[in-house]
Structure 1
Amino acid sequence: MKRIIYFAFLSLFLIACEQEPKDSYVIDGKAEGVYNGMRVYLSKVNERGAPIPKDTAIVMNEKFSFNGKVDYPQLYYVTINGTPGRLPIILENGISKLHIDNKILSNSRYTENKAHNVFSQYNSQLDELNEKRNLAKKNLSESTFLKNDEVMKTDAEILEKIENKIKEFHYEYIKSNNDSYATLTILNSQLRTRDLEYDKIVELYENLDNNLKKTAEGQFINEALIKIKKINEAEKATAIGATAPKFSAPTPEGDILALDDVLSKGKITIIDFWAAWCGPCRRENPNVVKIYEKYHDKGLEIIGVGLDGRRGQQNPKEAWIKAIKNDNLTWHQVSNLRYFDEIAKMYNVNSIPSMFILDNEGKIVAKNLRGKALELKIGEFLD
């Protein structure tokens, strides 16, 4: 009889395991020391990094729970009223446990989640490497202060090795976990690094499991890589020594003026990206006027590219023409009146004022100079 009861219990246990939710998630939370009524939030972040709450739970008797569904494992953040910080988790369908540390939220424990374990291991190993880098920086700072050349050289070599190891760690970890949804979060974070190695990131993305590429995050990464490629191409096209990209656009009178038309008239040509609404541009204009008046007869030409037409600007053309007159801009002016238009993108212009100085063959010889620096550079060519 006991054996029958045992097997009956075992059968019920196995059935219960089989019925564990696979198409929805359950987070069983513990929040020791957290008062009743405190709210716990489960949030995602938008493209600007702002949190968007997706679910809310209320702590009762130091417990709370979340229930819901995700299409695939994704990065979410847990926050709780009265507790500083936020806890990143990879949320996936199934049952998981969350034990809140009400002093330091980042010390909370989130368990029984395959994708999160990959994410957690990555952060743990990265923290260890960062600690070694911080120590190496401290040692180098001390040896530099003591002016110990031999030790300085050794400390600098150690720091360089650690930094190279950190850089390779990101790539190797992504490569070895190319089938984990957590990798999407890690790969996405690499898109924002200063020393981004584009070709490596593309290779890592291409080697991802196809299921990962089909997700919203996977498609976002692909679109970001396409944008980065265009930016890289624009930077190469407008590097010093490169031939400036050709363009043409309407003048205030409605005629079409091409860059080549202006180049043919002078020895040195400035392409000046500006706008009527741009305060720094308008403040720089008197300096450009002074330089133009000083060097125009010696061969200086300027073509202004107006970036008016931003959202909320009531009459872009009127504002553009008025600013030309008020600021006494007597050189060539063109504008599509479409804000940061295709010409700005062609030159990788993301902020203004932005200037490019070309020689008589149309090659870029200098860029993004202002004030006295601009005058001195023009003087080098024309005095």
Structure 2
Amino acid sequence: MKKLICIAFLSLCVFGCKKEQRTDYVINGKAKGLYNGIRVYLNTMDERGRITAIDTAIVMNETFTLDGTVEYPSLHYITVNGVNGRLPVIIENAVLELNINQEKFSNSKLKGSKENDIYSEFGFKVSELRKKLVDAKKKYNQSFILNDTLNLSNDKQFLENLEKEFNDFPYAHIEKNKEKYSSLTILSAQLNSRNLDTEKFISTYNNLDENIKTTSEGRKIGEIINSIKEKLKSEKSTTIGAIAPEFSAPNPEGKIVALSDVVSKGKITIIDFWAAWCGPCRRENPNVVKVYNKYHDKGLEIIGVGLDGRRGQQNPKEAWIKAIKDDNLTWHQVSNLKYFDQIARRYNVGSIPSMFVLDNEGKIVAKNLRGLALENKIAELLN
């Protein structure tokens, strides 16, 4: 019996002494050379790149302390009054040590965060690859200028391989660390890439651990991916040769008009996305009127899709109807008066004017033509 009691007591000690996960962070800072009264800020950054301070500390005797709590390890930025630049760091709920290097702020070090260690390792490797890329480009350009045919081909191949390695590295790093919160930060940064590989981006996101994807940032990326998928779908459905997606909307009298109703009446149909507030659209309208008047009797139909209703527009319906009258747009007109609405998204329309030319079966045969190019295409189809 005594033996059992001792075992139970030891078990309680083991479990009672188990280290609990912290629910707050403390950043103990060292700031050698900084004067008393200098402020140190912990910041977040929004989608537009705007910095917001969430905590402030004052340097005293070359030390400072920042503390608070984060929902999960996430990217923050340290800034210091009088010191240029900002230091990206992954903050997690732990006791952290930050050593400020005011001479070269980017060399400042944060210790105590495993997530930040992984993120810093990634940043170091990216800088290394970027330097190699710069050197490889210089070497290739030199061979090109000197017409050094002996080395040009090899230099070009080396550069292309290095570019591929550079572009693939973030995804490879994330695959190795898909359970780490810092991977979410790295993946999010890929959205700013000029040549985003959407397929690889989506695949990498899908392979992240579920607890990473369910964070607020993870859900935000998930929503962006849904938008990307919708855009890809609309791009595919509005390519030349595809059947134009069906839609319907109210005309100025409130009657619902469908695309199929208009297509069935003519040999060729133009879908014209425009708006009363759109200067380029209004300047293009006289040309569309000219084409319509010239070819309507030969089988040309037009359905205008008004994208009025943008924020700040006064009386969008009145503006839309007035523009129809002022510009003599005597063909079919519809609008949900909801700016770039679901019809525009279905057609992947991000700017106006935007036009789609359909044959008598509703198949897209041309798009985004203006002026003489539009008239010539309609003439080709109907003459």
Q: Match for residue 213 of structure 2?
A: 213
Paired residue for 2:266?
266
The alpha-carbon distance between structure 1 residues 262 and 66, as it changes in their structure 2 partners (threshold 3 A), is same
> Deviation of residue 144 (structure 1)?
2.9
TM-score (norm 2): 0.88
Q: What amino acid sits opposite 2:152 in the alignment?
A: M
2:149 is the alignment partner of 1:155: no
1:347 matched to 2:347: yes
Aligned residue runs from structure 1 range 98-177, under 5 A: 98-177=98-177
> Equivalents in 2 of 1:80, 1:209: separation in Å?
35
Q: Work out the CA distance in 2 between the residues paired with 1:352 and 1:54.
A: 40
**Which residue identity does 1:31 align to in structure 2?**
A
- 2-side partners of 1:33 and 1:283: how far apart? 63
Instruction: Write the deviation string for residues 295-346 of structure 1: whole angstroms up to 9, x where unpaired.
Output: 3344332211001112222311101000111122222211111111111111
1:92 offset after TM fit, Å?
A: 0.6
Question: Does the aligned pair in 2 maintain the 1:20–1:94 contact within 8 Å?
Answer: no
Aligned-pair Cα RMSD in Å = 2.3
Q: Match of 1:301?
A: 301
Query: Counterpart amino acid of 1:22?
Result: R
2:43 — aligned with what?
Answer: 43
- Structure 1 residues 247-288: Cα deviation after superposition (integer angstroms, max 9, x where no partner): 111111222211122222333322111111222222222332
Equivalent runs, 1:1-383 vs 2, <5 Å: 22-383=22-383
Amino acid paired to 1:195: N
Residue deviations 1:125-174, cap 9 Å, x none? 11111222222222333333334445333222222111221232122110
Q: Closer, same or farther in 2 for the Cα pair 1:289/1:101, shift >3 Å?
A: farther
**Residue aligned with 1:201, SS:** helix
Residues in 2 aligned to 1:288 and 1:60: alpha-carbon distance in whole angstroms = 71
Structure 1 range deviating more: 171-180 or 205-214: 205-214
Query: Cα gap change, 1:303/1:180 in structure 2, threshold over 3 Å: closer, same or farther?
Result: same
Structure 1 residue 62, shift from structure 2 partner: 2.9
Q: 1:186-243 deviations in whole A, cap 9, x for unaligned?
A: 1212234343333433332233223212211222222222221111111111122211
- For structure 1, the 5+ residue unaligned runs are 1-16
Q: Shift of residue 114 of structure 1?
A: 0.2
**Residue identity in the other structure for 1:211:** N
1:21 and 1:95 in contact (8 A); partners too: no
The residue matched to 1:93 in structure 2 has which SS? Answer: coil
Unaligned runs of 5+ in 2: 1-16
Are the aligned partners of 1:271 and 1:357 in contact in 2 as well (CA < 8 Å)? Answer: yes
Which segments of structure 1 move beyond 4 Å, counting only runs of 4 or more? Answer: 17-21
Aligned length: 367
Q: Is the 8 A contact 1:83 1:104 kept in 2?
A: no
Q: What does residue 13 of structure 2 align with?
A: none
Q: Using the alignment, how far apart are the partners of 2:33 and 2:369 within structure 1?
A: 58
How far apart are the structure 2 equivalents of 1:377 and 1:93?
64
Q: For the Cα contact (< 8 Å) 1:179–1:212, is it kept in 2?
A: yes
Q: The residue matched to 1:269 in structure 2 has which SS?
A: strand
Q: Does the aligned pair in 2 maintain the 1:269–1:360 contact within 8 Å?
A: yes
SS in 2 for 1:191: helix
